[in-house]
Structure 1
Amino acid sequence: MQRTKMKKEMLFYVPELPQELILEILSWLPVKDLMRFRCLSKTWTTLMFHHAFVKLHLQRSSKNKHVLLSFYQYDNTVGDWNDASVAVAPCSIHGLLENPTSTINNCIRRFSKTNIVIGACNGLVCICGYFDDTDDYMKYWVRLWNPATRIMSQDSPHIVLFASDYENEPCYLGFGFGCDDSSGNYKVVVILLDVQSHKRETRVLTLGDSSWKKTLTCPLFPLLNQVVGQLVSGTLNWLALSRFGYGPYGYEWDTVTIDELVIFSYDLKNDTCRFLLMPHGLLEVPPCEPYLGVLKGCLCLSLDYKNTHFVVWLMREFGIQKSWTQILNVSYDHHQPRHCFPLKFMPLLMSENEDILLLADEGSQFVVYNLRDNRIDHTHGFNVQSYFYVSYDYVQSLTLPY
Structure 2
Amino acid sequence: MEGRDGLSMKRRAKKPSDLPEQILGDILCRLPVRSLVRFRCVSRSWNSLLSSHAFIKAHLKRSSELHAYDLVKFNDSAKSRLVICGVSSNEIKSLGDCCLLDQKIFQRFDLIDSCNGVLCLSTFQKDSPGNSSIILYNPSIREYKVLPQPSSGLSEFIGFGLDISTGYLDDLKIINVKLTLGTYPNLSSKVEVYSARKNSWKQLGDVFPMRQTMFLGKQVLFDKYICWCPYARLRCQVFESNLLMYDLVRESFSEMVLPSTMPLEKKYVMLLDGFLSIIACKLRSRCYDVWTIKDFSIPESWTMLYTIKDATNDIFNYRPLGSTCSGNIIFVRCFSSEQGYGSPKDLVSYKRESGWFEDLNLEVDSFYSSRLVRYVDSINFPSY
Interval containing the TM-score (normalised by the shorter chain): 0.7 to 0.9
Q: Does the CA contact (< 8 Å) of 1:294 and 1:392 recur in 2?
A: no
Rate the CA distance shift 1:280–1:133 in 2: closer, same or farther, 3 A: closer
| Residue identity (%) | 22
Distance in 1 of aligned mates of 2:44 and 2:30: 21
Residue of structure 2 aligned with 1:116, choices 83, 100, 110: 110
CA RMSD between the two structures: 3.2
Residue of structure 2 aligned with 1:315, choices 270, 278, 293: 293
Residue of structure 1 aligned with 2:34, choices 32, 35, 52: 32
**What secondary structure sits across from 1:40 in the alignment?**
coil
Rate the CA distance shift 1:291–1:27 in 2: closer, same or farther, 3 A: same
The offset of 1:35, in angstroms, is 2.4
User: What amino acid does structure 1 have at the position aligned with 2:32?
Assistant: P
Instruction: Give the equivalent residue in structure 2 for 1:21.
Output: 23
**What secondary structure sits across from 1:387 in the alignment?**
coil
1:348-396 deviation per Cα after TM superposition (whole angstroms, max 9, x unaligned): 32455x5x44444345544343323x422743322x5443232222221
Instruction: Give the equivalent residue in structure 1 for 2:316.
Output: 342
User: What amino acid does structure 2 have at the position aligned with 1:186?
Assistant: L
**What secondary structure sits across from 1:310 in the alignment?**
strand
Q: Does the CA contact (< 8 Å) of 2:228 and 2:243 recur in 1?
A: yes
Structure 2 matches for 1:85-96, cutoff 5 A?
85-89=79-83, 91=84, 95-96=86-87
1:253-287 deviation per Cα after TM superposition (whole angstroms, max 9, x unaligned): 63223xx31111110101122111224531x422x
The gaps in structure 2 that reach 5 residues or longer are 3-7, 335-343
Distance in 2 of aligned mates of 1:14 and 1:20: 18
Q: Does the CA contact (< 8 Å) of 2:333 and 2:348 recur in 1?
A: yes
Q: Does the CA contact (< 8 Å) of 1:35 and 1:149 recur in 2?
A: yes
The gaps in structure 1 that reach 5 residues or longer are 4-8, 76-83, 163-167, 243-250
Residue of structure 1 aligned with 2:355, choices 375, 382, 386: 375
The offset of 1:73, in angstroms, is 1.9
Distance in 2 of aligned mates of 1:44 and 1:278: 51
Distance in 2 of aligned mates of 1:69 and 1:252: 34
Rate the CA distance shift 1:380–1:395 in 2: closer, same or farther, 3 A: closer
Q: Does the CA contact (< 8 Å) of 1:66 and 1:395 recur in 2?
A: yes
1:285 aligns with 2:285: no
1:50 aligns with 2:30: no
1:51-100 deviation per Cα after TM superposition (whole angstroms, max 9, x unaligned): 2221222232232352353433222xxxxxxxx532223x36xx244133
Q: Does the CA contact (< 8 Å) of 2:278 and 2:290 recur in 1?
A: yes
The offset of 1:224, in angstroms, is 4.5
The offset of 1:146, in angstroms, is 0.9
Instruction: Give the equivalent residue in structure 1 for 2:191.
Output: 202
Distance in 2 of aligned mates of 1:201 and 1:265: 17
The offset of 1:208, in angstroms, is 3.8
Distance in 1 of aligned mates of 2:243 and 2:322: 20
Rate the CA distance shift 1:52–1:338 in 2: closer, same or farther, 3 A: closer
TM value normalised by structure 1: 0.75
Q: Does the CA contact (< 8 Å) of 2:133 and 2:149 recur in 1?
A: yes
TM value normalised by structure 2: 0.78
Q: Does the CA contact (< 8 Å) of 1:125 and 1:144 recur in 2?
A: yes
Give the aligned length: 352
Residue of structure 1 aligned with 2:236, choices 254, 257, 260: 254
**What secondary structure sits across from 1:220 in the alignment?**
coil
The offset of 1:235, in angstroms, is 0.9
1:28-58 deviation per Cα after TM superposition (whole angstroms, max 9, x unaligned): 3322332243343343233211222212222
